[in-house]
Structure 1
Amino acid sequence: MTAHTPARPRKKSRRGKFLLITVIVLGLLLVAADFALAAAGEYQIAQRMREKLQLDEDPSVRINGFPFMLQAVRGDYTHVAIDASGVPIKNEAQGVDLRDLDIHADLRHTRVELSDLLAGNVSKATIDQVEGSVKIKSLDLNRLASQVTPFDKLSIDPDNRVTTTTTTTTAPGTPPAPQTTAAIKLSGQTNVAGKDVKLTAYGQVSLAGGAIQITVDEVELDDMSLKNIVPTLRQALAVKIDPGKLPFGAVPTAVRVEPGAFVLSGIITDVPLVQR
């Protein structure tokens, strides 16, 4: 007969599992609390930005970086991203009438105490740097160009036939100068004598005085027997669009073309989170 060997006690194993589960639960609670505090801070900033940017609805606000609590203790939120879509801007005195803008702002180092942020008291809050941009989409371009000649389904794209090269020499470590021109391709259709005509136009968009000016160099038609209307189309597409100031009062210093839109951008430093 063989002697029966008693099973070893598993108290230590059970205790280890209990401690592990406790640590996991506490970690999840801390993460949940961190996200809840961040959401509360985002809500307060969204409320202030709705007033500052004169929006009809609260913008989307994201306080990036984890953990939020560490940033809150320091009173320094390294990156806050703000987005708003379908924003109208109308200034009859300046002839500005845009109806479908997208606004984006990257706030670098927003400085405000957590207690003030959660209470909505951000009158003393400051931002080291704001990178603001406004996106002008094809809907507004189509409407503005149609004031001269009726266009339909007018689209915006980069002119990929053109390779942009930088000829300005900068010192090592110096960021490149902002791009103030970009090649464009506009596609759509118009109506001539009751006949729909498809067109493709190539040119550039230039930034001047905070506005963008479209210049068309070449127009292609699907029916070249109507080439006599090309000068009229070029004139109609030579639209100037002035969206005014960028978020937080930044002045546009660069322009680029992306599918469906022109994007104006600029940077401003040392600004208050809200108007004082």
Structure 2
Amino acid sequence: MAAPGQPSAPKRRRRTRRIVISLVVLIALLVAADFGAAAVFEYQVSKRAREQFHLTDDPSVKVHGFSFLAQAISGEYGHVAIDAKGVPVQDTLRDLEVHVDLMGVIAPLGDLVSGKLQGVRVREVEGQVRVKASDITRALLQNENPLVSSITNLTIDPISEQDAQTDPDKRTDAEQAAAERAAELETDNDTKAGARICATADLGGEETDFCAYGLITLVEAKAHFVPSRLELTNSVLGTGQLPDAFEAGITGWLKQLSLDPGQLPFTVTPTAVNVEPGVLSVKGKAFDVVLGGSGG
């Protein structure tokens, strides 16, 4: 039996259960409110990013960190990511992917709730534009070459800067060791990157598979391809090299490959180029910018 003046065990269990249920409901309501408030903020940023990118659809916006409401009360959000796909630039680049990381986003809670939020201030922006193989194909075909009538199955893959400039099969052991040491020092934040571009082309009426090895370099915000050697295969040549004059014509044509991804979002200055399987990317940083205002 319970002591006089004390609730019985069943009553204590019922009271504890009610308290637990109430806490669960309260937490659920707080989480729902947190997600709801985050959705409102993400919509506001997405709408302004759509204007900034000149898009037909709203880009994806994600607020990182928990909780959103704690960040909203402070008026500053640590990390907001924006992703937009199918961004066109002129006639050649039609399917760019844009990724932007906004660090230190200033958006007062009162302006957010009232709907009066205008320019969103951002302490630091890192922007990246990714160019797919399909756009690289269009860029190549824009540069007319009497030796090339078509290109299909184009791929782009990363290689070390050393392998881009010299053939690994022709190095001495010492040269190979030096190349491996140099490759270990390469970073993703450089103005050049090794690339292998392969495709099937109609060269002088003969279907030819080729791979071009060289450097992608960033010059005045544009990515240029500088090939150092070619490997070709067709039914006439087998595997090997074209006659010098023929190869010079193809190499000169590949050197004309220049990709201008347009101004990076929020006046970000391009500072690095990188190659990933199937993608060429250009990225850079900016500080103290405004999203959706006159300063963007």
> The TM-score by the shorter chain falls in which range?
0.7 to 0.9
Contact 2:152 2:201 in 1 (8 A): yes
Structure 1 counterpart SS, 2:190 = coil
Give the match for residue 173 of structure 2: none
Query: Quick one: distance in 2 between partners of 1:26 and 1:195?
Result: 72
Give deviations 1:81-138, integer Å, cap 9, x for gaps: 0010110011xxxxx7321111111000110112323444333431100001111111
Contact 1:41 1:118 in 2 (8 A): no
Query: Quick one: distance in 2 between partners of 1:22 and 1:177?
Result: 51
**Normalising to structure 1: TM-score of the pair?**
0.86
Structure with the higher helix share, 1 or 2:
2
**Normalising to structure 2: TM-score of the pair?**
0.81
1:257 to 275, 286, 290: 275
Offset at residue 17 of structure 1 (A)? 1.6
Contact 2:188 2:273 in 1 (8 A): no
Structure 2 counterpart SS, 1:244 = coil
Moved over 4 A (4+): none
| Number of matched pairs | 256
Give the match for residue 89 of structure 2: 89
Offset at residue 72 of structure 1 (A)? 0.3
Contact 2:50 2:59 in 1 (8 A): yes
Give deviations 1:252-271, integer Å, cap 9, x for gaps: 01111011111111110011
Give the match for residue 17 of structure 2: 17
Give the match for residue 223 of structure 2: 212
Gap runs ≥5 in structure 2: 1-7, 164-179
Could you tell me the percent identity over the aligned residues? 36
Offset at residue 55 of structure 1 (A)? 1.1
Which letter does structure 2 place at the counterpart of 1:205? Answer: I
Query: Quick one: distance in 1 between partners of 2:20 and 2:126?
Result: 44
Which letter does structure 2 place at the counterpart of 1:132? Answer: G
Give the match for residue 129 of structure 1: 124
Give the match for residue 236 of structure 1: 253
Query: Quick one: distance in 2 between partners of 1:124 and 1:184?
Result: 40
Root mean square deviation of aligned Cα: 2.1
TM-aligned CA distance change 1:209 to 1:165, over 3 Å: farther
Structure 2 counterpart SS, 1:109 = strand
Query: Quick one: distance in 2 between partners of 1:220 and 1:56?
Result: 42
Which letter does structure 2 place at the counterpart of 1:68? Answer: F
Which letter does structure 1 place at the counterpart of 2:141? Answer: S
